[in-house]
Amino acid sequence: MKKLNIIVVIMVMLPLILCAFANIKLGGITGKITPVTGTSAVALVAGTDTLRAELNQGIFSFTNLKEGVYKVWIKGNAPYKDATIENVAVKDSSTTDLGEIKLQQ
C-alpha cells in the first residue's frame, strides 16, 4: 500500500514540476567590438560564474541566459585597454543588443 501511495504522489507531482520548468524563458546579449583586432576575449560575469563567447569579426553573442543583470568584460589587445560594461539587463525571452563597443587606446 505504501508503494502505491508513493507512485501516485510521484505521478501527480511530476507534471507539476515539468510545467514549472517549461515556463522559464531565456534571453541573450549581443554586441560588436571595434576595432576587430582590438580584442582577444569576451566574457560574461554573473556573481561568481563566468561564461566566454566566441568572437567572429568582432561580433559576440551570449544565448540561453536567465533573466537578470550581468557584467560584460572585454579583454583588449595591446595597445587597446580592457573594457567592462556593468549592469547589462536581460529580460525574459529577449536579447539585449549592446551595439558597437569602441575600445580605447
Q: Write the CATH number for 71.
A: 2.60.40.10
Question: Predicted confidence band at 88 (pLDDT cuts at 50, 70, 90)?
Answer: very high
Q: Look at residue 37 and tell me if it is in a domain.
A: yes
Q: What is the pTM of this model?
A: 0.73
Q: Look at residue 89 and tell me if it is in a domain.
A: yes
Q: Write out the three cell numbers for 93.
A: 525571452
Q: Which amino acid is at 32?
A: K
**Percent of the chain topping pLDDT 70:** 76
Over 90: is that where the pLDDT of 101 sits? yes
Cβ neighbors of 89 (< 8 A, separation 6 or more) are: 68, 69, 70, 96
| Digit-coded pLDDT (tens) for 3-39 | 766 776 566 665 655 555 555 668 999 999 999 999 9
Before 35, cis peptide (omega within 30)? yes
Q: Look at residue 41 and tell me if it is in a domain.
A: yes
Q: Which amino acid is at 84?
A: T
Mean pLDDT across the stretch 53-82? Answer: 92
Q: Look at residue 38 and tell me if it is in a domain.
A: yes
Q: Write out the three cell numbers for 71.
A: 557584467
The range of the structural domain enclosing residue 65 comes to 26-102
Q: Give strand pairing partners of 54.
A: none
